[in-house]
Structure 1
Amino acid sequence: MSKKNRFAKWEKIREKGKKNYIIYYGVLGWGLSAGILSFILGEVFDHGLNITNYFTGDWLLSLVIGLVSFLLGGILFGYCMWGISESYYHDKYSNK
């Protein structure tokens, strides 16, 4: 992707605002997907590939704690990525 296209894409994203970016890219994009992936990998590591052993014990509590943790982490991730993207945009855009 060229610089011009990257800047145009970021300009469209930043028009929607920081809050929208954090929710969409941080919480939903990173937090939800990482939380679900973490839960699935945890089940596989705990029980191997024998699916009949999945979802035993306190799996629901484990899922909820994992999702909440990753969703909160997604806020931090989105906030940091917004800052990094804005910094990169201003550094490169102002030096054209």
Structure 2
Amino acid sequence: MSTANEDKAAKWQKTRQLGKAKYVMYYGVAMWGISLAVLFTAIEWLTQQTLTPSWFTIRIIVFGIIGFFIANFRWDGNERKYAPRPANKKR
């Protein structure tokens, strides 16, 4: 494994200590959901000079769900990618 991959694997091991539920809630629902809801609300403000509270609520819910799935897939992918490999046994 290259040094860059070893660094990423070490970072993942540290992140992995959060646990899957906290990882998904923090990186998926909070980071993706809130960030995208704020971004699209800002676009709404810039293009229409109006804010619709019900749309903001809908965005939080929809982007939170999308973020949940994104973080879930990322967790599973990182688990497969950086999982400790068992040593090869000689027969």
TM-score, normalised relative to structure 1: 0.76
Runs of 4+ in structure 1 deviating by more than 3 angstroms, as ranges, are: none
- Alpha-carbon distance between aligned partners in 1 of 2:24 and 2:38, rounded to the nearest angstrom: 18
Question: Where do 5+ consecutive residues of structure 2 fail to align?
Answer: none
Aligned residues with identical type, % of pairs: 26
Query: Cα distance, 1:38 vs. partner?
Result: 1.5
Q: 1:95 to 1:43 in 2, by over 3 A?
A: farther
Task: Decide which of 14, 28, 32 is 2:30's aligned counterpart.
Answer: 28
- Alpha-carbon distance between aligned partners in 2 of 1:16 and 1:35, rounded to the nearest angstrom: 25
For residues 42-57 of structure 1, the aligned pairs below 5 Å read 42-45=44-47, 47=48, 53-55=49-51
- Alpha-carbon distance between aligned partners in 2 of 1:27 and 1:77, rounded to the nearest angstrom: 9
- Alpha-carbon distance between aligned partners in 2 of 1:42 and 1:87, rounded to the nearest angstrom: 39
SS at structure 1 position matched to 2:31: helix
Higher relative contact order (CA 8 A, sep 6+): 1
* AA matched with 2:80: S
Q: 1 or 2, which has the higher helix percentage? A: 1
Question: Where do 5+ consecutive residues of structure 1 fail to align?
Answer: 48-52
Task: Decide which of 2, 5, 8 is 1:6's aligned counterpart.
Answer: 8
